[in-house]
Structure 1
């Protein structure tokens, strides 16, 4: 029995283009002219979420948020992110209400599980990395969100994302 050849790059691009077209058509149909879904990519040279090249953003505030979900919100809703030029910020949920957050040294733990490393962005806040160390329980209706890159400006620095600020969930396309 011979192995099937992998799909060629043009075939994968064609499938991706068809998928994007279907998503756009559904967005127009389901959103009645409003954008119900959109596509997003990180235009920065150093991506905050290097594992996520293209994401589908569903513009609906979720009732339930779980660890590992990708959430997005308007950059202007978090004052520390006012400099962001894109409409939305997308990060991965590392901690949910009731979880224990601990930042020790340059490592971030949720319920004693390592979820992020590095505090390189401390210089942006003109503070030493040690000033971000803490151990606390994540409060109700708040989420600890991170990028998976060391240079991600995320909850390590500016705190928790309020549920009220969430615009929707993101889903990895590729």
Structure 2
């Protein structure tokens, strides 16, 4: 084994060449990594934009849930064709002070245009079938429940939505929702 002088010109040249080769290798790795990272970032950003254009999330913040046990919903904004018995999300309009205008609300679509609706103190029926019991929200809010008793048909382009609990603030109290307020079909997450 030969002993080399670490202070010789030859040793200094070898160290310099080795350092340059390491730096070149690192820059190639960094450039490759940067290119891959850029492509991956573009794919992820595009996917997020695509998903956000089709889906959104609704979170029920109220204490009492009207569609228990679910509090978080996935909304498919491309599925807006009203279907009786399906769960939909819509934007509130004129429901203050309970809900500010524009609040996302998730309920079951029970009433379609032309359906006959009757709200009594005991129950709410659509085409003679019971969809809700009583007027508990009116009682809880100390409002005369008689104020909500009515009978009639649902106008064209309007829909009635209900929760599954007696204390659900729904169409019994505020009437119909316009087709333009419907955001899309809602799917329970948890």
Please report the TM-score for the alignment, with normalisation by the length of structure 2. Answer: 0.65
> What runs of 5+ residues in structure 1 fail to find an aligned partner?
1-24
Corresponding position: 1:50 with 2:68: yes
Corresponding position: 1:37 with 2:55: yes
Per-residue deviation, residues 26-60 of structure 1 (Å, max 9, x unmatched): 99627437442123332322101114343211123
| Structure 1 contact 94–115 (Cα < 8 Å) conserved | yes
Q: For residue 132 of structure 1, report the CA deviation from its aligned partner.
A: 1.1
Which residue does the alignment assign to 2:111? 95
Change (3 A) 1:132 1:87: closer
Q: For residue 131 of structure 1, report the CA deviation from its aligned partner.
A: 2.0
Q: How far apart, in 2, do the equivalents of 1:56 and 1:34 lie?
A: 11
| Structure 2 contact 61–71 (Cα < 8 Å) conserved | no
Q: How far apart, in 2, do the equivalents of 1:124 and 1:132 lie?
A: 14
Higher helix share: 2
Bigger CA drift: 149-158 or 40-49? 40-49
Corresponding position: 1:117 with 2:117: no
Which residue does the alignment assign to 1:152? 168
Please report the TM-score for the alignment, with normalisation by the length of structure 1. Answer: 0.71
Q: How far apart, in 2, do the equivalents of 1:113 and 1:129 lie?
A: 21
> What runs of 5+ residues in structure 2 fail to find an aligned partner?
1-42
Q: How far apart, in 1, do the equivalents of 2:53 and 2:133 lie?
A: 35
- Structure 1 segments (4+ residues) deviating >4 Å: 25-28, 123-126
TM-align CA RMSD: 2.9
Q: How far apart, in 1, do the equivalents of 2:130 and 2:119 lie?
A: 10
Q: How far apart, in 2, do the equivalents of 1:142 and 1:149 lie?
A: 22
Q: For residue 137 of structure 1, report the CA deviation from its aligned partner.
A: 1.0
| Structure 1 contact 27–37 (Cα < 8 Å) conserved | no
Q: Decide which of 85, 99, 102 is 1:68's aligned counterpart.
A: 85
Q: How far apart, in 1, do the equivalents of 2:91 and 2:117 lie?
A: 24
